[in-house]
Amino acid sequence: MYAKPNVVVLTGAGVSAESGLKTFRDNNGLWEQHKVEEVATPQAFSANPALVYRFYNDRRAQLADGAIKPNAAHLALAQLEKALGEQLTLITQNVDNLHERAGSTRVLHMHGELLSSRCTGSGHRQVCTVAFDRKTRCQCCAEPRPLRPDIVWFGETPLHMDTIIMALSRADIFIAIGTSGDVYPAAGFVQLASESGAKTVELNLAAGTNQRYFDEAIEGPASEVVPAYVHQIITAFNDK
Ligand code: APR
């Protein structure tokens, strides 16, 4: 048996597309009918908080729709966690909970989570599965402040970056799945992994903007190409 490799996986909206969640850039640049700057910037939140609260309340409610379920790609990545244990780092740019529902237990949500709220005073995060607006106050501090969606908006700093950079520096294999390669810092992870000597693979429906930085690219729907690639990794260290 070969030693288990250190694998870092980065997922984007494409991994959840076949579960029925829209990607960001495949719909004329609109996310669920909205321009990104109307709903996903601190400026939008200041200018029109009601719209921003409503937008994320709708997205949160959508996750409770029974039709939205993890697909074969999420399930394969949960299987990879079982096989590799702590030697898998799963990073997602997605704010949905489909990796967790598939069985992944250590997901780094670098762009935040729909099922979480954040105190605008202290930054305290907590699980939140219901709708909220600016009248909903966080009770974590002496002076209750409004809650905001726990989403990293454009211009804000992504989460878990120290853990991510450390994992990339140790990676033997880096796999980017269903992400356009347009948004940094995630789009630059392939170069960091390459500099650390990792083999880099893109699994995507169509070439991402940063495809030239990958050693290998496999194009196809995530529900097909991800289970096949995960099977390949698992059999490589189980064989012999
Ligand atoms: N299987 C695999 N890939 C797919 C599928 C599918 N079924 N459907 C679409 N894709 C691919 C597209 O080809 C595209 O490359 O998924 C990618 C989706 O790209 P984006 O919509 O740009 O999503 P993502 O890369 O996750 O966006 C990054 O931008 O708006 C911000 O914060 C938001 O996290 C998001 C970030």
Is 29 known to sit in a ligand binding site?
yes
Cα first-last separation, the chain: 5
Q: What is the pLDDT of residue 32?
A: 72
Annotated catalytic residues are 111
Q: Is 198 annotated as a binding residue?
A: no
Ligand 1, atom 14, residue with closest C-alpha: 180
Indicate the domain borders of the chain: 7-238
pLDDT digits (tens, 9 = 90+) for 70-118: 999 999 999 999 999 999 999 999 999 999 999 999 999 999 999 999 9
**128 annotated ligand binder:** no
CA 111 – CA 1 distance, rounded (Å): 37
Nearest to 226 by CA among 5, 17, 75: 75
For residues 192 and 13, what is the distance between their CA atoms, to the nearest angstrom? 21
Q: Is the pLDDT of residue 60 over 70?
A: yes
Distance 16 CA to ligand 1 centre (A): 9
- Can you name the CATH fold of 7-238? Rossmann fold (3.40.50)
Asked whether the predicted pLDDT for residue 31 surpasses 60, the reply is yes
Segment 144-191, tens digit of pLDDT: 889 999 999 999 999 999 999 999 999 999 999 999 999 999 999 999
Q: pTM for this one?
A: 0.96
For residues 11 and 94, the answer to whether their CB atoms sit within 8 Å is yes
- pLDDT value for 172: 97
**Residues of the chain above pLDDT 70, percent:** 98
What is the reported pLDDT for 64? 86
Q: What pLDDT, on a 0 to 100 scale, did the predictor assign at position 75?
A: 98
Between CA 216 and CA 187 the distance in angstroms is 16
* Residue located nearest, by CA, to atom 23 of ligand 1: 13
User: Which DSSP string corresponds to 72-90?
Assistant: HHHHHHHHHHHHHGGGEEE
Q: Show the ligand 1 pocket: residues with CB < 6 angstroms.
A: 12-14, 17-18, 23-26, 36, 93, 111, 178-180, 182-183, 204-206, 208, 221-222
